Amino acid sequence: MANIAAVATAVPPHRIPQEEAREFAGRFFRRAHPDIQNRLSIFENARIRSRHFCVPAEWFASEKSFQEKNATYIEWACRLGADASRKCLDAAGVRPADVDYLVFVSTTGLATPSIDARLINILGMSPHARRSPVWGLGCAGGAAGLSQAFHYVKGHPSARVLVVAVELCGLTFHFGDLSLANLTATALFADGAAAVLVAGAEAGLPGPEILGTRSTLWPDSYDVMGWNFMNEGMQVVFAKAIPDIIRTRFRENAAEFLKEQGVQIDDIAHFVLHPGGAKVMDAFRESRERFEARAAGK
Question: Domain boundaries in the chain?
Answer: 2-210, 240-295
This prediction has a pTM of 0.91
How far apart (Å, rounded) are the C-alpha atoms in residues 14 and 54? 6
Q: Known catalytic residue: 54? A: no
Say what the pLDDT of residue 236 is.
87
Strand partners, 131: 102
What SS3 state is found at 183? helix
Cβ atoms < 10 Å from Cβ of 218: 10
What sections of the chain are H helices per DSSP?
A: 18-29, 36-39, 41-45, 66-92, 115-123, 141-155, 180-188, 242-260, 278-295
pLDDT for 23-55, tens place per residue?
999 999 998 898 898 899 999 988 899 999 999
Which residues in the chain land under pLDDT 70? Answer: 275, 290-298
Which of 157, 103, 165 is closest to 130 using CA atoms? 103
CB 216 within 8 A of CB 253: yes
- What class is the 2-210 domain? alpha beta
Say what the pLDDT of residue 297 is.
53
Say what the pLDDT of residue 54 is.
98
Among candidate residues 54, 78, 88, 139, the one labeled active-site is: 139
